[in-house]
Amino acid sequence: MKYTSEMDTEGWPPKPKVNGLEFPQAKQMPGAPQLASATAVAAPGVADSPVARGKELVADNGCTACHSVGTDQLVGPGWGGLYGTTVKLVDGTTTTADDAYLTEKILHPDARIVAGFEAGVMPSYAEMLDTEEVSDIVAFLKSLGGK
C-alpha cells in the first residue's frame, strides 16, 4: 500500500470545478439552486449594459450558429434590421418584430411560425434563460437596427 500511496497520479481522477461555472457553455440545471450570475460579479467594464450582456448571452448560447447579426438568412433569420419590421407568418397573418414578439420567439419559438421556416428547428430557451437575460438579448437584437 505504501507504494501506491506515494504514486504521483498527475491529478487523476480529475475534479471538475463547477462552483461558479467557469466556462461559457455551463448552464445550471433547471430547478437547481441558482448561483450569483457572472454579470452581477463581473470585473469592471465587462458587460455592464443590457446590449453588452445580450451580445455576450447570444455568444454563450450559440445563437449565431443559426442566426446572423446581419441580414443573411442562415438556419434562422438574420437579426440585422429585424426590429420593428413586419413579419409574415405561415398562417398568412403578420406581426411586428417588437419586444414581445422577440421574447416569445426566444421562449416559445413554435408559438407562431414565420413564413419560410419550419416548426421544431429552434429550441425553447424558457428553461435556460431568466427574464432579465431574455430582456438583454432583446435589447441586443434591437441594437442591430430596424424601424
Q: What is the pLDDT of residues 50-109, one digit of tens each?
A: 999 999 999 999 999 999 999 999 999 999 999 999 999 999 999 999 999 999 999 999
Stretch among 25-34, 45-54, 109-118 having the lowest mean pLDDT = 25-34
| Domain-wise residue ranges, the chain | 9-147
CATH class held by domain 9-147 = mainly alpha
Whole-number Å distance between alpha carbons of 73 and 82: 12
Top mean-pLDDT range of 9-23, 28-42, 46-60, 131-145: 131-145
Q: How would you classify residue 31: left for phi > 0, otherwise alpha for psi between -120 and 50, otherwise beta?
A: left
Determine the Cα–Cα distance for residues 15 and 122; give it in Å rounded to an integer: 34
Q: Which three cell numbers stand for residue 28?
A: 445550471
- Does the structure show a pLDDT above 70 at 136? yes
Distance CA 25, CA 57 (A): 10
d(CA 50, CA 59): 14
pLDDT score for 20: 53
> pTM for the complete prediction?
0.68
Q: How far apart are CA 139 and CA 102, in angstroms?
A: 10
Give residue 18's Cα distance to chain centre. Answer: 20
